[in-house]
Amino acid sequence: MALALAMCHDDPETITGDPSVIKKDHMTPAERRDLDRKGLAAIEVLSQQMPTMFMGYNYKRLLLHAHRKDCVEAQLVKWLDWTDAICEIKHELFAGNLLFVTAIMRSVAGTGPLKQTYPALAPLLERGDSPFLQLVFDKHMVPFVKKARYTHLGRPHTRQSIGYETDFPLYNAWREVVINDLGEEGIKYLTAQVEGAAMSTPADGRPALSLVS
């Protein structure tokens, strides 16, 4: 069921859009309620358009579980979605994209409340040995930081650099999953430069701002 939820939990965002967690932080209670209503309305629309069953489960029921986080499977998918976001943000920061500094601060700060919100995950988070269940960074995990591992930071990722080990087991495992699951497409995903890539010169002749040094 968790696998099915992982495949479809973001489907309503094709209708509602996907506001960032920082944007949600600044929403008023009324705006949050409106976003919730839009999400439920999107589920109604999708359940009419899509097949009734998905991977052996009722499609509408899956989307409702994902929306409400009212079962342990949906809560696990939420946790993994959160860890994926943290890894993507770290990947941007390691390439020198400092616009993501506030995003990593917010994402890491939200880890504690996430654990409190979903106490049913506690046994798994306490005893699970997967890197995707470990977000801590302490002396037990990392006895000392190896500075030589980070001399390549601040520049766009390359095929070589995405293979370098870091002191963040979660991030290392995330890259490995992307490459192993997606192959060449995954490598392209991890190395393709968007911000700061070759841009056309504006009409005023001034060079375009590069967001990646």
Please tell me the total count of domains within the chain: 2
Which pLDDT belongs to residue 147? 80
Higher pLDDT: 167 or 32? It is 32
Give me the domain span that covers residue 25: 1-68
Q: How far apart are CA 187 and CA 67, in angstroms?
A: 32
Which pLDDT belongs to residue 211? 43
> Are 41 and 91 within one domain?
no
Domain membership flag for residue 143? yes
Higher pLDDT: 134 or 11? It is 11
First to last CA, the chain: 43
Which pLDDT belongs to residue 160? 92
3-state secondary structure of 58: strand
> Are 88 and 173 within one domain?
yes
Among 165, 196, 163, which Cα is nearest to 178's? 163
Among 71, 5, 67, 74, which Cα is nearest to 42's? 67
pLDDT tens per residue, range 125-145: 888 788 888 776 555 556 667
pLDDT tens per residue, range 145-202: 778 778 888 889 999 999 998 888 899 999 999 999 999 999 999 999 887 655 444 4
Query: For the residues 199-209, what does the mean pLDDT come to?
Result: 45
Residue 25: in which H helix or E strand, if any? helix 21-25
Residue 99 one-letter amino acid: L
For the chain, what percent of residues have pLDDT higher than 90?
Answer: 54
pTM: 0.81
End-of-domain residue from the set 37, 53, 68: 68
Domain membership flag for residue 103? yes
Q: How far apart are CA 194 and CA 73, in angstroms?
A: 34
> Are 4 and 31 within one domain?
yes
Residue 39 one-letter amino acid: G
> Are 37 and 109 within one domain?
no
> Are 60 and 115 within one domain?
no
Q: What is the mean pLDDT of the chain?
A: 86
> Are 56 and 110 within one domain?
no
End-of-domain residue from the set 68, 91, 122: 68
> Under the phi-then-psi rule, with left for phi > 0, alpha for psi from -120 to 50, and beta for the rest, what region is 17?
left
> Are 136 and 98 within one domain?
yes
> Are 48 and 98 within one domain?
no
